[in-house]
Amino acid sequence: MFGNAIQRVISRFKNPQKVVNLCFIVVFIFSTVLTWREAVVLEGAYVANQRNSLDSVATLLDRQLQHNIDNLLFYRNSMLYALQSPISTDKTRKTLADFDSLRTQPYWQLRLDLNRSLPMNGVSDEFVNNSPLLDRDEQTIHTELSSALELSYIMRLSHQTQTLPQRMFYASRSGFFLTSTPPSNDPQIVALYYRLVAQPYFSSQSPENNPRRELKWTHTFNPNMSSGQIITAAIPLDYNGRWYGVLALDYPIDSLHTFLRQAHNNEQHEGTVLLYDNELNPIATSAKSLPKHPLFTAPQLARIASVVTAAKQGAQGELRMDSRFITWAKLNNYDGLLIKVHTLEEGVQGEFGRISVVLSVLWLLSTLMLFVSWVVIRHLVSNMFSLQQTLTWRANYDTLTRLYNRGAFFEVASKLSQECQQQGQPFSVIQMDLDLFKSINDRYGHSSGDKVLAHAAAMLSDAFRHDDVAGRVGGEEFCIVLPDTSLEEATKVAERIRVRINSKELLLKQGSTVRISASFGVSSAFEFNDYDFERLQSYADHRLYKAKQDGRNRVCNTD
Ligand SMILES: Nc1nc2c(ncn2[C@@H]2O[C@H](COP(=O)(O)OP(=O)(O)OP(=O)(O)O)[C@@H](O)[C@H]2O)c(=O)[nH]1
């Protein structure tokens, strides 16, 4: 029932194949849009995953840096309190006395209470006097030394974190330093102090270079360190308008490498996380080592810089570069950038890549199946359509003569007669019957009779005009309706047909020929003032009977 309904709908369209094509195109577009939608959702999840992955590393690093910076600020505050109200104890007095006796030595170390404090390491007055950045002020040096002694107790308590090893130190402009990794008492102290005050982090804390007296990060290359590169966070120590020195912590790059590797790999994320300084120089990586060749070209770095410069601290974002997906995050506690690089290859091998591949394969499979079913259904519909056309033709036409059959002919003829009546046009009917057809059947057989019928129908079709319509209304009886044709004209047409039919011999089987003839009866609407087709046909049939009576092979148009 449902199938019939579909068939009826399809049959309304002139070309059902176009309907099938349209349906399949709609289904294809629909499935493609659905797959595309899935892909968009998947992409959103992928971006969120990349962001989360970098965010987790950035948060861990930020938390660790925050802890260290808090320590640094605590040490500065401790120094400030101590400078405001220095404590005078036997130990401090001894420290100051030792200093006064050692201050001219090239290097010195005050090792007062090594179980509880760190040693103070210093250089000579001469060394200090030779450097314009340094100043051993006689009025403040003793206060500073006793404050540094207090700091040495506190700094001794600072323990090295395993997650991100770093070194804390106080480098004084008065020619001494405290460090959480103390040296032995040897000439190395001079070189160490020199290096501390010669580094950019130190000079960058002068009042001219750091007027806002804020924490600054610097990235330096240290040939004497095994790891080479160091990043340093430094804050100045000022009291009563005097710049005393710098409190700083530095991280060997190796410790950052290890930290990034652990933080990134613990989460089992794909891709590589890199730490860049504020000039977009790579510092550390979660990979085994920093890439030998730069990861980004100059224009790509400029593109990253332009996006990042506008962003606030802690902000993050992402961008696509050739086949790589880049996620970046600004750290809250470091003036630099974390960048995660996810290559296409890593992406394909990862979870999202596998889902994308499955999604693509499913889409391809569904498209292939859709295509196959489109071919099959198109073929079926094409067969159904041609079958329907054949059935429709057979319902209206006589297969032997290819003229209208009786039912269809009566329908068409009645319609034509009504049209002629409405337009006041003449309308004529010719009734034709083959003469002595039974004898042909009897003599040559039924199939030869069929051949004669087909031949007579062809003669008939060739003889009448374009607007005339003919049909086979009985065994060997034919009828022709002639719109806009008078009785005289119709009689002429009938005569023409008669002559044509009778003019040629027809070759039948076994080489025998036969000349056939037909009799005609003609009637017209005007003479009876009647447009009813069935009555006009019976008048014509009556005249046909008369033609037979009068000797056959003739046209009769009168009663
Ligand atoms: N071969 C063939 N014969 C048919 C067909 N339809 C009807 N006939 C035959 O046509 C013959 C008609 O014969 P009749 O009605 O006696 O008329 P007739 O022999 O033509 O003689 P008149 O009409 O008096 O000239 C019959 O023998 C039918 O069997 C057909 O489709 N094929």
pLDDT in tens, 388-439: 889 999 999 999 999 999 999 999 999 999 999 999 999 999 999 999 999 9
Straight-line distance from the first to the last Cα atom of the chain, in angstroms, rounded to the nearest whole number = 55
| Backbone torsions φ then ψ of 89, nearest 5 degrees | -125, 175
In a 10 Å sphere around its CB, with 0-12 CB exposed, 13-18 middle and 19+ buried, how is residue 406 labelled? middle
Q: Which fold has domain 398-556?
A: Alpha-Beta Plaits (3.30.70)
| Beta bridge pairs of residue 469 | 481
What ipTM does this complex have? 0.95
- Atom number of ligand 1 nearest to Cα 450: 1
| Backbone torsions φ then ψ of 326, nearest 5 degrees | -110, 125
- Atom number of ligand 1 nearest to Cα 447: 1
C-beta separation of 243 from 236 below 8 A: yes
Phi-psi region of 551 (alpha: psi -120 to 50; beta: other; left: phi over 0): left
Is pLDDT above 90 for 347?
no
Which residue type does 361 have? V
Instruction: Round to whole Å and give the CA distance between 445 and 449.
Output: 6
- Atom number of ligand 1 nearest to Cα 438: 19
DSSP readout, 177-208?
EEESSPPPSSTHHHHHHHHHHHSHHHHTTSTT
Pocket mutation for ligand 1, best pick of 399, 440, 441 (most atoms within 8 Å of C-beta): 441
Q: How far is the CA of 459 from the centre of ligand 1 (A)?
A: 18
Provide Rg for the chain, Cα atoms: 55
Alpha helices in 204-329 (DSSP H): 253-266, 298-309
Q: Tell the residue number behind the tokens 């595309």, with chain if given.
A: 36
C-beta separation of 297 from 280 below 8 A: no
pLDDT on residue 525: 95
Nearest CA to ligand 1 atom 14: 438
3-state DSSP helix/strand/coil % of the chain, to nearest 5: 50, 20, 30
Instruction: Round to whole Å and give the CA distance between 416 and 480.
Output: 12
Instruction: Round to whole Å and give the CA distance between 235 and 215.
Output: 5
Average pLDDT estimate for 435-445: 92
Nearest CA to ligand 1 atom 8: 475
Instruction: Round to whole Å and give the CA distance between 502 and 436.
Output: 13
pLDDT in tens, 33-70: 999 999 999 999 999 988 998 999 999 989 888 888 99
C-beta separation of 349 from 21 below 8 A: no
Is pLDDT above 80 for 378?
yes
pLDDT in tens, 188-207: 999 999 989 998 899 999 99
Q: How far is the CA of 552 from the centre of ligand 1 (A)?
A: 15
Q: How far is the CA of 499 from the centre of ligand 1 (A)?
A: 21
Instruction: Round to whole Å and give the CA distance between 160 and 180.
Output: 9
Instruction: Round to whole Å and give the CA distance between 556 and 542.
Output: 9
452 membership: H or E segment, kind and range: helix 446-463
Higher-pLDDT residue of 353, 552: 552
pLDDT on residue 461: 86
Residue 406: CA count within 13 A, CB half-sphere: 7
Global pTM exceeds 0.80: no
Q: How far is the CA of 479 from the centre of ligand 1 (A)?
A: 16
Domain with CATH 3.30.70.270 in the chain: 398-556
Is pLDDT above 60 for 10?
no
* Closest among 192, 174, 195 to 183, alpha carbons compared: 192
- Atom number of ligand 1 nearest to Cα 446: 1
DSSP 166: -
- Atom number of ligand 1 nearest to Cα 439: 19
C-beta separation of 405 from 396 below 8 A: yes
Q: How far is the CA of 516 from the centre of ligand 1 (A)?
A: 13
Instruction: Round to whole Å and give the CA distance between 339 and 277.
Output: 11
pLDDT on residue 325: 92
Which tokens is 116 given?
Answer: 């509880």
Pocket of ligand 1 (CB under 6 A): 433-438, 441, 446, 449-450, 453, 475-476, 548, 552
CA distances from 69 to 201, 314, 392 (A): 15, 16, 93
Q: Tell the residue number behind the tokens 């962001």, with chain if given.
A: 51
Q: How far is the CA of 23 from the centre of ligand 1 (A)?
A: 53
* Closest among 111, 94, 98, 93 to 182, alpha carbons compared: 111
pLDDT in tens, 78-128: 999 999 998 888 888 998 999 999 999 999 999 877 778 899 999 999 999
Is pLDDT above 70 for 227?
no
| Residues labelled as active-site residues | 476
Nearest CA to ligand 1 atom 11: 438
* Closest among 147, 359, 349 to 242, alpha carbons compared: 147
Nearest CA to ligand 1 atom 12: 438
Give the Cβ contact number of residue 309 at 10 Å. Answer: 9
C-beta separation of 142 from 96 below 8 A: yes
